[in-house]
């Protein structure tokens, strides 16, 4: 009898299972609206031209070698990443009470953050939105958190943020609870609080002494403007919160597989920096020793070189505007077809995803009958749509709904 005999097969990860099913499907009309990655209007992955050129320059640079990076990563990358999210004129940066450590993309930033909060700050209560990116629960549960809560976020009938529900649930949280907030382009709903609503959330979190952990996976990718997408984070920093920001460069640089990420720590004063930094170093050392350099070198070079940074701004604008065009097109086609229901939420939502409001049965029809792959919650990746397939998708949604 094998020592492995009692290992039970775990559940499939929905998003990857759907992508596999899509690959295995031989229907010529098939469409993948599940996985969270950008696609061009031709349905292809996109290497940002500024990234491609930077890769070439790095590859031919004789001064670059493959020595280990420091445990907390490439300094020029972490400082540029921290500045990107907090803003060059951030009071926290001026007062030297913010710094970053490099992580294995956004997921790794969340995991290192969770480990630190659990081990060092003895936190055991975490709140994430309902719905949220499903990995939030897993990351905190795997770290050891035993009090995992969700807060209301989405009003399915009105297809908009349920601020009242959110505030009521956060009001029940014990002081010190970790509250995961999506910095922008909430995944999966595509619905963010307005500035006024963020103020109410901050008021409550300040009063209840709750700890904000911003998950920032879409800065710049959402609106095309990195400053605009960082508004909420900067607002909380300006109000004096101590907080964490988990940054991913997967979407906004198209560096999905390179795992470039950063964990930004904002403190009340810089006196706590060295101790925090040393503990983060130990957490990373015991997890994966040190991070990969490739993606971080690219991001660092681009963000720290004004002309390249400008070029990158053009790239994020073109990605975000293509998504907005697809939102408009899908909404107009559904309205034209007279599909029952209102579809304004598709254009009101922001970022990569739209929470369509389609129910599980309608999703089943789309997958089985039309070979259109999407999550059972009705979340679609807007980037999977293009001028070649949007008519087909709109007609299929119409048929599934009627």
Q: Which residues carry out catalysis?
A: 133, 215, 251
Contact status: 377 vs ligand PMP (CB under 6 A): no
Smallest distance from the beta carbon of 81 to ligand PMP, in angstroms? 12
Q: Can you tell me whether residue 262 is helix, strand or coil?
A: strand
Q: Which of 223, 248, 300, 349 binds ligand PMP (CB under 6 A)?
A: 248
> Secondary structure of the chain: what % helix, strand, coil (to 5)?
50, 15, 40
The dihedral over CA atoms of 329, 331, 332, 337, expressed in degrees to the nearest 10, equals: 120
Residue 125 or 215: the one with the smaller Cβ distance to ligand PMP is 215
Q: Which of 113, 117, 217, 265 binds ligand PMP (CB under 6 A)?
A: 217
Q: Sign of the CA dihedral 218, 223, 229, 232?
A: negative
Q: Which long-range contacts (CB under 8 A, 24 or more apart) does 21-24 make?
A: 21/367, 21/373, 22/373
Contact status: 36 vs ligand PMP (CB under 6 A): yes
Contact status: 78 vs ligand PMP (CB under 6 A): no
Q: Sign of the CA dihedral 176, 180, 184, 186?
A: negative
What is the size of the binding site for ligand PMP (CB under 6 A)? Answer: 12
Distance from C-alpha of 41 to C-alpha of 323, rounded to nearest angstrom: 10
- For residue 64, which of 312, 310, 301 has the smallest C-alpha distance? 301
Distance from C-alpha of 361 to C-alpha of 399, rounded to nearest angstrom: 12
Q: Which of 250, 350, 380, 385 binds ligand PMP (CB under 6 A)?
A: 250
Q: Which stretch binds ligand PMP (CB under 6 A): 104-112, 168-176, 339-347, 374-382?
A: 104-112
Q: Which of 187, 349, 356, 386 binds ligand PMP (CB under 6 A)?
A: 187
Contact status: 381 vs ligand PMP (CB under 6 A): no
Q: Which stretch binds ligand PMP (CB under 6 A): 51-59, 101-109, 330-338, 339-347?
A: 101-109
Contact status: 362 vs ligand PMP (CB under 6 A): no
Residue 109 or 394: the one with the smaller Cβ distance to ligand PMP is 109
Contact status: 262 vs ligand PMP (CB under 6 A): no
Contact status: 323 vs ligand PMP (CB under 6 A): no
314 Cβ neighbours under 8 A, 6+ residues apart: none
Distance from C-alpha of 238 to C-alpha of 183, rounded to nearest angstrom: 15
Distance from C-alpha of 66 to C-alpha of 113, rounded to nearest angstrom: 27
Residue 133 or 236: the one with the smaller Cβ distance to ligand PMP is 133
Q: Which stretch binds ligand PMP (CB under 6 A): 102-110, 279-287, 315-323, 386-394?
A: 102-110
Q: Which two tokens stand for residue 62?
A: 């004789």
Q: Which stretch binds ligand PMP (CB under 6 A): 55-63, 68-76, 105-113, 313-321?
A: 105-113
Distance from C-alpha of 290 to C-alpha of 70, rounded to nearest angstrom: 6
Distance from C-alpha of 136 to C-alpha of 115, rounded to nearest angstrom: 13
Q: To 5 degrees, how large is the angle CA 297–CA 312–CA 103?
A: 35
Contact status: 34 vs ligand PMP (CB under 6 A): no
- For residue 269, which of 27, 77, 79, 95 has the smallest C-alpha distance? 95
Smallest distance from the beta carbon of 245 to ligand PMP, in angstroms? 11
Contact status: 229 vs ligand PMP (CB under 6 A): no
Contact status: 107 vs ligand PMP (CB under 6 A): yes
Q: Which stretch binds ligand PMP (CB under 6 A): 72-80, 99-107, 164-172, 229-237?
A: 99-107
- Site map 115..154 versus ligand PMP, x via CB under 6 A: ------------------x---------------------
Distance from C-alpha of 33 to C-alpha of 52, rounded to nearest angstrom: 26
The H or E element that residue 78 is part of is helix 75-86
Which parts of this chain interact with ligand PMP (CB under 6 A)? 36, 105-107, 133, 182, 187, 215, 217, 248, 250, 261
């Amino acid at each position: 009898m094998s020592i492995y005999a009692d290992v039970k097969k775990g559940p499939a990860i929905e998003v990857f299972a759907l992508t596999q099913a899509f690959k295995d499907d031989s229907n010529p009309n098939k469409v993948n609206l599940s996985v969270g990655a950008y696609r061009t209007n031709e349905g292809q992955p996109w290497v940002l031209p500024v990234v491609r050129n930077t890769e070439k320059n790095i590859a031919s640079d004789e001064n670059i070698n493959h020595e280990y990076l420091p445990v907390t990563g490439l300094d020029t990358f972490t400082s540029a990443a921290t500045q990107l999210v907090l803003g060059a004129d951030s009071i926290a940066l001026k007062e030297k009470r913010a710094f970053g450590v490099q992580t294995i993309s956004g997921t790794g930033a969340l995991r290192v953050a969770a480990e630190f909060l659990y081990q060092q700050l003895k936190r055991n209560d975490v709140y994430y939105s309902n719905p949220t990116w499903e990995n939030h629960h897993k990351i905190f549960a795997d770290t050891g958190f035993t009090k995992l809560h969700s807060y209301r976020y989405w009003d399915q009938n009105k297809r908009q943020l349920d601020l009242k529900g959110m505030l009521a649930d956060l009001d029940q949280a014990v002081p010190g609870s970790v509250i995961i907030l999506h910095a922008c382009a909430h995944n999966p709903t595509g619905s963010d609080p307005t500035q006024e609503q963020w103020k109410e959330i901050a008021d409550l979190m300040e009063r209840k002494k709750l700890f904000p952990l911003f998950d920032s996976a879409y800065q710049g990718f959402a609106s095309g403007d990195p400053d605009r997408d960082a508004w909420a984070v900067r607002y909380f920093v300006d109000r004096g919160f101590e907080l964490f920001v988990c940054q991913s460069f997967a979407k906004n640089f198209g560096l999905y597989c390179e795992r470039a990420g950063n964990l930004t720590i904002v403190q009340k004063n810089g006196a706590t920096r060295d101790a925090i930094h040393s503990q983060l170093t130990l957490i990373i050392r015991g997890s994966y020793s040190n991070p990969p350099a490739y993606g971080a070198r690219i991001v660092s070079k681009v963000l720290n070189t004004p002309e390249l940074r400008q070029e990158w701004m053009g790239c994020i604008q073109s990605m975000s505007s293509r998504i907005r065009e697809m939102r408009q097109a899908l909404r107009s086609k559904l309205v034209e077809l007279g599909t029952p229901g209102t579809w304004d939420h598709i254009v009101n939502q922001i970022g990569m995803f739209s929470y369509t409001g389609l129910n599980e049965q309608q999703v089943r029809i789309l997958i089985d009958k039309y070979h259109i792959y999407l999550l059972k919650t009705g979340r679609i990746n807007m980037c999977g749509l293009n001028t070649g397939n949007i008519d087909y998708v709109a007609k299929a949604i119409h048929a599934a709904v009627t």
